[in-house]
């Protein structure tokens, strides 16, 4: 049974007197204890989708009415779209938590780490000051911080990037959430620290049997962390599969191109990486039809189709949104790095 189910999620931001569609009809689910990775280029709607799950857009644009959302977000069979802001505050940071992309801007520079972590514990778990301090210190130790007392009394801007990210992880997991949303948790960190952060998230996820929805651009992170993968392109999911199927048998041309850009460690001296032509366009510039058609090497007849390709079931748990899917020959183009990469 799914812990989180998203049905026909549509998100619009106001631009002048009109609303611009950013996310268009997204459907997916996350089961308890499962790690789902969202991948795709910048501007494809991953972070916007993740923020909408906690209804943070509503909070940010409440006065200006700059955001409009449609669809269903079912969490523990409760539609979060129908909850009041007061009820949502009981869920945010408690049953559903988030590690933001940039901890320096997510953490308040005016308050110490102990104050910010304690605030979460006092609000949701009703802990006293001393109890909250001890519990926060134990969480920081589990997150791999050794000099706990110094970090607890420090301000965020005095800590390194890796330290701030560990504080964010500890804060997010302080109330034992059922779902953790991690928005590129290893951005701007060196490779060694990246691995430590991922190991920290993985170990705590297994210990707590927690579901994780992770956003990343790094297919190495996908191979290391994911059970299932959602490939986003211009506000839509264009492919969904378990991690082994995605690397061994990608179906959508966009997915193939992304995986094809991952160097093969055995063939790197002879391998030529071909970039994806063009770039992600604004949705308003796409018109009707497939949104990837201008960059697709398989386009052909797709240019003549005026309607959007549906997300169809290719195999058990494998879905793809592409007009070429039914006409692609069996065992069509593959990349040598797939099996070796995993």
Q: How many residues does the chain have?
A: 342
Distance of CA 106 to the CA centre of its chain: 16
Where the chain has pLDDT below 70, the residues are 58-65, 188, 264-271, 282-288, 299-306, 326-342
pLDDT at position 17:
79
- Out of 3.30.56.10, 3.40.50.300, 3.60.15.10, 3.60.21.10, select the CATH number for domain 2-226: 3.40.50.300
pLDDT at position 208:
87
A 10 A CB-CB count for 260 gives 20
Residues 6+ apart with CB under 8 A from 157: 104, 109
pLDDT at position 48:
92
pLDDT at position 270:
65
pLDDT at position 152:
95
- Give span(s): CATH 3.40.50.300, the chain: 2-226
A 10 A CB-CB count for 280 gives 18
Closest CA to 96 of 15, 157, 182: 182
Output the pTM of the full model: 0.86
Alpha-helical runs (H) found in 229-332: 243-248, 253-260
Q: How many helices (H) and strands (E) does the chain have?
A: 13, 12
């Amino acid at each position: 049974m799914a812990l989180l189910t998203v049905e026909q999620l549509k998100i619009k931001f106001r631009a002048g007197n009109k609303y611009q569609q950013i996310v268009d009809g997204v459907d997916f689910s996350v089961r308890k204890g499962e790690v789902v990775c969202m991948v795709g280029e910048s501007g494809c709607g991953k972070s916007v989708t993740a923020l909408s799950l906690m209804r943070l857009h509503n909070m940010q644009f409440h006065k200006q009415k700059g955001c409009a959302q449609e669809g269903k977000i079912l969490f523990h069979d409760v539609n979060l779209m129908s909850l009041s802001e007061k009820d949502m505050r009981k869920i945010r940071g408690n049953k559903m938590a988030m590690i933001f992309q940039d901890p320096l801007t997510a953490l308040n520079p005016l308050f110490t780490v102990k104050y910010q972590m304690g605030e979460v514990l006092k609000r949701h778990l009703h802990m006293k000051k001393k109890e909250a301090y001890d519990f926060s210190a134990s969480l920081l130790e589990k997150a791999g911080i050794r000099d706990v007392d110094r970090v607890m009394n420090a301000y965020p801007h005095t800590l390194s990037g890796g330290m701030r990210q560990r504080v964010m992880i500890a804060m997010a997991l302080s109330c034992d959430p059922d779902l953790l949303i991690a928005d590129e948790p290893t951005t701007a960190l060196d490779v060694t620290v990246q691995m430590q952060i991922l190991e920290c998230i993985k170990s705590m996820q297994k210990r707590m049997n927690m579901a994780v929805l992770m956003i990343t651009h790094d297919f190495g992170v996908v191979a290391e962390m994911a059970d299932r993968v959602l490939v986003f392109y211009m506000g839509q999911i264009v492919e969904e599969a378990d991690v082994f199927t995605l690397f061994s048998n990608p179906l959508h041309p966009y997915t193939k191109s992304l995986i094809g850009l991952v160097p093969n460690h055995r063939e790197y001296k002879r391998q030529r990486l071909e970039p994806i032509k063009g770039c992600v366009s604004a949705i308003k510039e796409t018109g009707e039809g497939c949104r990837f058609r201008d960059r697709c090497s398989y386009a052909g007849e797709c240019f003549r189709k005026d309607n959007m390709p549906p997300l169809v079931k290719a195999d058990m748990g494998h879905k793809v949104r592409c007009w070429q899917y039914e006409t692609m020959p069996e065992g069509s183009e593959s990349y040598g790095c797939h099996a070796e990469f995993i």
